[in-house]
Every structure is written in C-alpha cells, then in structure tokens.
Amino acid sequence: MSPRRLDSTLDPAVLDQLRRIVGPEHVLVSDGDVEPYARDATPLFRARPDAVVMPATSAEVARILRLATEQGIPVVPRGAGSNLAAATVPTLGGIVLVLTRMRAIREVSADELLAVVEPGVTTLELSNAAEAKGLLYAPDPGSRTVSTVAGNVAMCAGGLRGLKYGVTRNYVLGLEAVLPTGEVIRTGGRLWKDVAGYDLTRLLTGSEGTLAVITEVTVALLPLPAVARTGVAYFPTLADAGRAVAGVISDGIVPATLEFLDNPCINAVEDFAKLGLDRSAGALLLFGDDGSEASVTRSLEIMAGVCERTGARAVTMARDVAESEALLTARRCSLPALARLAPITLLEDASVPRPKIAEMVDRINAIAARHNVVCATFGHAGDGNLHPTIVFDPADGDVQQRAEAAFADVFDAAIELGGTITGEHGVGSAKLPYLEKRLGADQLALLRRLKRAFDPAGILNPGKLGS
Ligand SMILES: Cc1cc2nc3c(=O)[nH]c(=O)nc-3n(C[C@H](O)[C@H](O)[C@H](O)COP(=O)(O)OP(=O)(O)OC[C@H]3O[C@@H](n4cnc5c(N)ncnc54)[C@H](O)[C@@H]3O)c2cc1C
C-alpha cells in the first residue's frame, strides 16, 4: 500500500478516532492552527498538513500509527521543527505527529552514567539535568535551547564539541520506538556491552523519522570536566587558519572546540552581537578545550603556539567563563547573524576530510563568484564540516536558481574532495536529489528495501529518506 493524500481534510471518521486517542484538544485541523507545522527551519519548503496530532504516551503513538497504516495516511514525526533539511515538511500532507507533550526526564543516573528521557525533552533540559548531578551530556547542537532529544537522535545531530566528543550517535545507548505498524520495540538499553542482534539503535539514529517513531531515549553521560576554556586567533586568510587546524591535530591535541568563521561571517556576527571581533581578519579560529586545569592549560598553550607559528596576527585567551561564553556566542550566533542580511538564508552543510578544508573553502568562494551569489562560510574546522551560507532577496531576478545551482556545485566539490553532502543536518527533502551521488545506486536501493521492511505501507515521513 502506498500513502495517499486525502483531499484537503482527513476523513471525519478518522479525525474522530484521532480525537478519541489523544483528546480533542490535541488534534489541530484549522488553517491557522496547522500553518506553523507546514514548515520547519528550512527556507523555501512548505506543505500544509491535514492534521496536527499531539500524543502523550507511546501507547497513543502506537494506536495512531496503526490507524495511519490501515488507512494509508502519511505521518510525519516532529520535535521542535528546527531541522535545516525540510525533514518535517509534510510533503504528501497527512498527519504531523508532534512529540513535544512527551517531555519527562525519567532518570539521570550518576552510578550508571546514563539518562532516560521522553522524546520531547530539549537538548538543553537534558544537559542541565545532567549537569545538576555533575555529569555531561556531550552533544551540543547550536539549536540546543529548542531542539528535542529525539529530533537530535533522528537527525544524528552534531555540534560544537564534535571533534573530541563525537556526535549524537556516540551517546545513544537505547531507544523505545513505535513501528509504523504499531508494534513497540526496545533497542539497546542500559548496557555498555550488548551485541545481541543487528544494531537497530544505530540504524534508527539518523533515520530522520522514516523508520519508526522514537518514544524514549537512553543516553550515555560523562563526568563533567572540571574546567573549560576558549581562545581566539585571527588569521590573514582562511588557508592560514586551515594550516593551524592541521598543526593542532598533528601536535597531538584533540580539542573540544575548533571552529572557524570567514570574513563575511565575522562582520555579520560583529554587526549582530557586538563582541569586539576583528572585522579586518580573513578568518577567525575559535579553539577550546575542557578537562582538568593542568590539561586544559597545556592544550590551550599548545594551540595558541600553533596559531602563532602558522601566521595568526593575534591570539587571545578568554580570561574567565564569561569571556569564553562570549567567544562561543560568536560561533553560535553565526546563523541568526547571517539571517539578518537578506530575506532568505540558505545554510548548507558539506563535509570534507580535515586537510581539505582550505581547498574546499576556496572552491566554495569560486563557485559563489561564478554563480554571482553572496556566500559566507563558517563551520566546525576540527571535523571538516563547513556551513556555506547564501543570503539573498527572492525579488532579485533568478537569484534562487543561481543559489541552488551554486549548492549543487558545492556538493559535487565536496564529493570530489572525498567528503559528503551533509555532515550533520541530514537529508530530508532538501538533500534527497543529491543522495544517490553520495551513496550510489546500490546503496540507495538497499535503503529503500530497509524502509519497506520497517514501513510496508510507506506512511512514515514519505518523500524523504528511503523514498
Ligand atoms: C539556529 C540553528 C542551529 C542549529 N545548529 C545545529 C548544530 O550545531 N548541529 C546540528 O546537527 N544541527 C543543528 N541545527 C539543526 C537542528 O536543530 C537539528 O537537526 C535538530 O536535531 C532537530 O531537532 P528537532 O527537535 O527540531 O527535530 P525536528 O526538526 O522536529 O525533526 C527532525 C527530524 O527528526 C524526526 N523526528 C523528530 N522527532 C522524532 C521522533 N520522536 N521519532 C522519530 N523521528 C523524529 C523528524 O521526522 C525529522 O525527520 C540547527 C538549527 C538551527 C535552526
């Protein structure tokens, strides 16, 4: 059975059943009520859902999914809708299933170094709950104040600490998930060692809401580092900053933070946040580490030394936590700062092997010039993950087509340099046209067969991964 779009509204009998499952106040159908769920944080994508349904338990999720499979109704799971890949836009209409009513932190265990949370808990709420017990939840996407833990799992979100600590997948120990056919499964769990069966926890991590609905997440925690410190170096060019990154790693340091901003980005952030950044620098490198006082002092000294050796014209260390936070703000506010420059901000997410960063940035700048678009780039220098960002006014002729053509070239360049079309933001609808280039036809066909095994009626987030 393939999902069908039911005219402009769902069958009244289906709506009645949904209202009986979650309560009438948790089913939205009017234009005004469903409009916010027609889009996510990705510009240029929009599709109206027929209904928005907000369950409170996994049993309710199971009943909704069973009904949807019986009726062939598309269901799009949604957390905060902060993804940047149009992954929650209900392309074929149907139900947007919002999980944010399920937001209990069920457990934070210092003995077992883990936490168990419902899907709608925000990343920051989980981090704060861990911190209150002297523990660290390491993944820290820039959207952590709003993004949900299940949304992070479903996108395998990264963040500013990816180089040293890895990404969300490195912390997911177990999941409770509801299959589109209504069965509730538990994958993994509290065990640090468990190799019974295929690793479905990993498969569901990054599955972008296309295989199952996640209703509980068990994550690994770490002891909270004693101190965390940050410094900043300004370079004449991004190539110089790239050499500093290579030097840091070859000096045996794997820092918690190694982020860069190019010149247009520095200026946009300075206009926005007034942090006192050097507007004339070609590139800014933010470096930081955490751990014991002695190890952090040593690694920051080594990183500062490498920056000086590779041509930094100024290197400054934050003197206290407040100054460190101000520097991290420069990186965290890059996207909102660029978004002020023009009505549309298209942020991309290519990744290349670390030694290729400077070459990739050169290629991005050449591509932007060729297509005559305004592009600024920032990103995670330590893990080769770049966020070229094109800003434009759609009233400006064919600029949107030029921006899209530029990004197609950026993805080709990333693949050519041994990289990928998305390092952390996921595929969604936005990157689906480029997926075959990255995976090849055989792997794409396998993805489709896996999708059918989980979701025989094809109701879960259709038009995305596995379609
Ligand atoms: C300012 C800003 C900064 C950002 N910074 C980063 C960053 O540093 N790193 C990074 O990786 N991303 C970043 N993002 C992107 C985004 O925040 C992440 O992709 C995040 O993981 C999405 O979480 P969410 O709760 O908003 O999920 P949503 O956007 O609601 O959904 C994302 C995907 O998860 C699926 N999903 C949601 N909940 C469930 C569930 N319970 N079960 C199954 N599937 C589900 C959806 O179907 C969709 O495919 C940023 C976004 C913004 C706007």
pLDDT band at 2 (very low <50, low <70, confident <90, very high): low
DSSP 362-404: HHHHHHHHHTT-EEEEEEEGGGTEEEEEEEE-TTSTTHHHHHH
Is a pLDDT exceeding 50 seen at residue 8? no
pLDDT band at 23 (very low <50, low <70, confident <90, very high): very high
Task: Find the mean pLDDT for residues 231-256.
Answer: 91
Task: Find the mean pLDDT for residues 28-34.
Answer: 96
Q: What is the pLDDT of residues 278-299, one digit of tens each?
A: 999 999 999 999 999 999 999 9
Task: Find the mean pLDDT for residues 265-276.
Answer: 92
Is a pLDDT exceeding 50 seen at residue 6? no
Is a pLDDT exceeding 90 seen at residue 327? no
**For a substitution probing ligand 1, which of 39, 61, 78 has the most ligand atoms within 8 Å of its CB?**
78
Is a pLDDT exceeding 60 seen at residue 96? yes
Say if CB 55 and CB 99 are below 8 A apart: yes
pLDDT computed for residue 13 by the predictor? 95
CA 424 to ligand 1: nearest atom = 11
The answer to whether the CB of 466 is under 6 A from ligand 1 is no
- Considering the chain, what is the average pLDDT of its residues? 94
User: How many Cα atoms are found within 13 Å in the side-chain-facing hemisphere of 427?
Assistant: 22
Residue 331 or 18, more confident? 18
**Tokens read off for 26:** 């948790």
pLDDT band at 160 (very low <50, low <70, confident <90, very high): confident
Q: Which of 164, 171, 157 is nearest to 114 (CA)?
A: 171
| Ligand 1 center from residue 464 Cα (angstroms) | 14
- Secondary structure in 3-state letters for 96-158: EEECCCCCCEEEEECCCCEEEECCCCEHHHHHHHHHHCCEECCCCCCCCCCCEHHHHHHHCCC
CA 160 to ligand 1: nearest atom = 8
Residue 324 or 61, more confident? 61
Q: Which of 180, 300, 290, 278 is nearest to 231 (CA)?
A: 300
The answer to whether the CB of 76 is under 6 A from ligand 1 is yes
pLDDT computed for residue 1 by the predictor? 52
The answer to whether the CB of 176 is under 6 A from ligand 1 is no
> Range with the lowest mean pLDDT among 5-9, 36-40, 417-421?
5-9
Share of the chain above pLDDT 90, in %: 85
pLDDT band at 4 (very low <50, low <70, confident <90, very high): low
pLDDT computed for residue 9 by the predictor? 63
Share of the chain above pLDDT 70, in %: 98
Task: Find the mean pLDDT for residues 396-404.
Answer: 94
Say if CB 95 and CB 73 are below 8 A apart: yes
Is a pLDDT exceeding 80 seen at residue 336? yes
**For a substitution probing ligand 1, which of 143, 272, 454 has the most ligand atoms within 8 Å of its CB?**
143
Is a pLDDT exceeding 50 seen at residue 463? yes
pLDDT band at 7 (very low <50, low <70, confident <90, very high): very low
Please calculate the CA angle 434-440-445 and round it to the nearest 5 degrees. 100
Sign of CA dihedral 412, 414, 419, 422: negative
Sign of CA dihedral 190, 196, 200, 203: positive
Q: What is the pLDDT of residues 64-79, one digit of tens each?
A: 999 999 999 999 999 9
**For a substitution probing ligand 1, which of 40, 57, 82, 179 has the most ligand atoms within 8 Å of its CB?**
82
pLDDT computed for residue 41 by the predictor? 95
Is a pLDDT exceeding 50 seen at residue 412? yes
Say if CB 187 and CB 215 are below 8 A apart: no
| Ligand 1 center from residue 396 Cα (angstroms) | 30
Please calculate the CA angle 460-138-101 and round it to the nearest 5 degrees. 40
Give the full edge-to-edge strand order of the sheet including 227-235: 314-317, 227-235, 283-291, 257-262, 374-380, 385-392, 344-347
pLDDT computed for residue 242 by the predictor? 85
pLDDT computed for residue 355 by the predictor? 85
Task: Find the mean pLDDT for residues 76-90.
Answer: 98
Is a pLDDT exceeding 50 seen at residue 56? yes
Q: What is the pLDDT of residues 224-233, one digit of tens each?
A: 999 999 999 9
Task: Find the mean pLDDT for residues 354-367.
Answer: 90
| Ligand 1 center from residue 342 Cα (angstroms) | 24
Residue 191 dihedral angles phi and psi, to the nearest 5°: -85, 140
Residue nearest to atom 18 of ligand 1 (CA): 83
